[in-house]
């Protein structure tokens, strides 16, 4: 089982690297990520071999473009759209309850949400857990479990459900966490895949806060 799981993760990373056509590095550190299609409980893996020597972090094709709008339900069953946060710097973070690196990143995001709220920052967590939409009883349980996880982690920003519904528009979201930084005009100014260092996240938040400020 261990060998099978290792091969599954490796295959996902190879597919991830192929689709992204490039490397990703964290300035001399190996980045931790989990393939988005990995089974629950899968452990984080380093970025694909050879990327540690790269000087350029991953750049999504969406960088510099308007962030694709979406409308998803929050944990309370209310519809929330990205467009409603226009004029604010926004972080859109794709994550899952079973993603180890996500659990490491979430406390940072909570602190940063509190730290920069006065400057208009809004973090949005897009949950990527599987949802059984054909089974109302199971769907109810899955949503409750996600809500319980959010409460246990003390998440202080909106958690929206059903990442699969918008993943293609956001470049496929091949690994978790995947995080986008959006300026006040709705333009994507930076992105990270995997567990980026906290100071890199802070730097990207500042890009989002200053980008579009004069418009």
Same-domain status, 132 and 40: no
CATH of the domain at 130: 3.40.30.10
Q: Does 65 map to a domain?
A: no
Q: Do 205 and 180 form a contact (C-beta atoms < 8 A)?
A: no
Over the chain (215 residues), the average pLDDT of each successive run of 10 is: 45 35 30 53 44 46 93 96 96 97 97 97 97 95 97 97 96 93 96 95 96 57
Q: Does 66 map to a domain?
A: no
What is the predicted pLDDT for the residue at 50? 32
What is the predicted pLDDT for the residue at 125? 98
pTM, full prediction: 0.75
Same-domain status, 79 and 29: no
What is the predicted pLDDT for the residue at 25? 29
User: DSSP letters of 81-148?
Assistant: EGGGGTTS-EEEEEE-TT-HHHHHHHHHHHHHHHHHGGGT-EEEEEE-----TT-HHHHHHHHHHHHH
What is the predicted pLDDT for the residue at 61? 81
Q: Does 63 map to a domain?
A: no
Q: Does 62 map to a domain?
A: no
What is the predicted pLDDT for the residue at 35? 57
Same-domain status, 47 and 89: no
What is the predicted pLDDT for the residue at 154? 97
What is the predicted pLDDT for the residue at 41? 52
What is the predicted pLDDT for the residue at 67? 97
- Residues of the domain holding 11: 2-53
Q: Does 60 map to a domain?
A: no
């Amino acid at each position: 089982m261990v060998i099978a799981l290792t091969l599954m993760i490796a295959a996902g990373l190879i597919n991830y690297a192929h689709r992204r056509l490039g490397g990703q590095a964290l300035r001399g550190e190996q980045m931790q990520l989990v393939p988005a299609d990995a089974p629950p409980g899968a452990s984080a893996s380093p970025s694909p071999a050879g990327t540690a020597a790269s000087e350029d972090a991953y750049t999504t094709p969406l960088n510099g473009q308007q962030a694709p709008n979406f409308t998803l339900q929050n944990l309370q069953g209310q519809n929330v759209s990205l467009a409603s946060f226009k004029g604010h710097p926004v972080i859109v973070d794709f994550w899952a309850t079973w993603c180890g690196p996500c659990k490491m990143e979430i406390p940072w995001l909570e602190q940063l949400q509190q730290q920069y709220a006065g400057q208009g920052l809004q973090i949005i967590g897009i949950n990527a857990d599987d949802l059984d939409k054909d089974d109302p009883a199971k769907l109810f349980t899955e949503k409750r479990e996600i809500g319980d996880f959010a409460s246990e982690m003390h998440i202080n920003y909106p958690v929206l459900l059903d990442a699969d519904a918008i993943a293609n528009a956001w470049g496929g979201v091949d690994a978790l966490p995947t995080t986008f930084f959006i300026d006040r005009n709705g333009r994507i100014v930076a992105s990270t895949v995997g567990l980026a260092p906290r100071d890199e996240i802070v730097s990207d938040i500042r890009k989002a806060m200053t980008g579009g400020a004069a418009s």
